[in-house]
Amino acid sequence: MSKKIDFIKRFFQDFYLVIILIFLYAPIATMTVLSFNNSKSRTQWGGFTLKWYTQMFSSDTIMTALYNTLLIAFLSSLIAVIIGTAAAIAINGMKRVPRTIFMGITNIPMLNADIVTGISLMLAFIAFGISLGFKTILIAHITFNIPYVILSVMPKLKQTDKSTYEAALDLGATPVYAFFKVIFPDILPGVLSGFLMSFTMSLDDFIITHFTRGAGINTLSTLIYSEVRRGIKPSMYALSTIIFFTVLVLLLITNFAPKKKI
């Protein structure tokens, strides 16, 4: 009896998982199929083709946007990591009240709506007379990335043992040397995760970039937005398929290759 109930329960659990999976993957699968469709129509199969992929790879605009997206993601994460880690160390050594104030401010860009962050930055850039372009997107991305760095470095800092650092100082190490030899290895996982989190956030951002971008510069997100508003472009399906499978393959490699070794 209880076995039967167990079986039914299992069945419903699996059934539910499958339903959600279909909901999540049907749109992606559709785009993948359409990216190979020779016809521009979304309801008729016009034969297999790779022309949308050729079109995508030979399109200067798409490739430049890809380059911009990656460059901005990399630079903004790198700078955010430097500023954020330094800030986390300082905040960690602060007294209660200033620390609460700092952490409160840190939370603003994370919890605020993207549209408000984007608009406020745009207003500031124009007020400061900074012309909108690559550097304003970069500044905006650094701004919303720093909090992720601080929030992932802080817990690691709390775990580090202060006395080892002080011992290093007593033994004659300079603070910088002691920091890199003693504290840095401890917080490195936090720094790395902050970097990668920032990188991901930067890759996916559209709204803030939309308000802070300037002439002739597109990231993938802003490019897709304007292309979609202009009409159906099967090369966008090709782009989406490529992005999806890149992520999927990377996932499989990182998840399952090392496991076998162990």
Partner 1 sequence: MKKRLFKVAAAAAVAVLSAALLNGCGKSADKTGGAGEVYVYNWGEYIDESVIEQFEEETGIKVVYDMFETNEEMYPVIEAGGVKYDAVCPSDYMIQKMIENNMLAEINFDNVPNIKEIDKPFMEMTKSFDPENKYSAPYCWGTVGILYNTSMVAPEDVPTSWLDLWDEKFDDNILMQDSVRDAFMIALKPLGYSMNTTSREELAEARDLLIEQKPLVQAYVIDQVRDKMIGGEAALGVIYSGEMLYIQQEVADLGLDYTLEYVIPEEGTCLWLDSWVIPANAPNKENAEKWINFLLRPDIAKKNFDYITYATPNKGAFDMLEPEIQNNKAIFPDVSTFKDFEVFKYLGDDVDSIYNDFWKEVKSK
Partner 2 sequence: MNKKLLSGPYTLWMIGFTIIPLALIVYYGLTDRSGAFTLANIIAITTAEHSKALWLSLGLSFVSTLICLILAYPLAMVLRAKGVGQGSFIVFIFILPMWMNFLLRTLAWQTLLEKNGVINGILTTLHLPTQNLINTPGAIVLGMVYNFLPFMVLPIYNVLVKIDDNVINAAKDLGANFTQVLLRILLPLSVPGIVSGITMVFVPALTTFVISNLLGGSKILLIGNVIEQEFTKGSNWNLGSGLSLVLMFFILISMALIAKYDKNGEGSTF
Q: For the beta carbon of residue 26, count every other beta carbon within 10 angstroms.
A: 10
* Residue 115, CA atoms < 13 Å, CB-side half-sphere: 0
Amino acid letter for position 41: S
* Shortest CB 151 distance to partner 1, Å: 12
Contact between 78 and partner 2 per CB under 8 A: no
Per CB under 8 A, does 220 bind partner 2?
Answer: yes
Q: How many CB atoms lie within 10 A of CB 212?
A: 26
- Bin 94: left if φ > 0, else alpha if -120 < ψ < 50, else beta: beta
Residue 90: contacted member of partner 2, partner 1, none (CB under 5 to 8 Å, by partner type): partner 2
Distance CA 184, CA 85 (A): 10
Which stretch, 47-55, 119-127, 166-174, 181-189, contacts partner 2 (CB under 8 A)?
A: 119-127
Going by C-alpha positions, the residue among 82, 100, 35, 108 that lies closest to residue 198 is 82
CA distances from 69 to 65, 106, 141, 177 (A): 6, 24, 11, 35
Question: Residue 242 binds which one of partner 1, partner 2, none, with CB within 5 to 8 A depending on kind?
Answer: none
Q: Which one of 18-26, 79-87, 141-149, 245-253 is the stretch in contact with partner 1 (CB under 8 A)?
A: 245-253
**Span near partner 2 by CB under 8 A; candidates 48-56, 60-68, 156-164, 221-229:** 221-229
Q: Which does 114 bind (CB under 5 to 8 A by kind): partner 2, partner 1, none?
A: partner 2
Under the binding rule (CB under 8 A), the answer on residue 254 touching partner 1 is yes
76, 145 contact by CB (below 8 A) = yes
Distance in Å, CB of 60 to partner 1, minimum: 9
Which residues contribute to the site for partner 1 (CB under 8 A)?
40-41, 63-64, 66-67, 70-71, 73-74, 122, 125-126, 131-133, 192-193, 195-197, 199-200, 214-216, 226, 229-232, 246-247, 250-251, 253-255
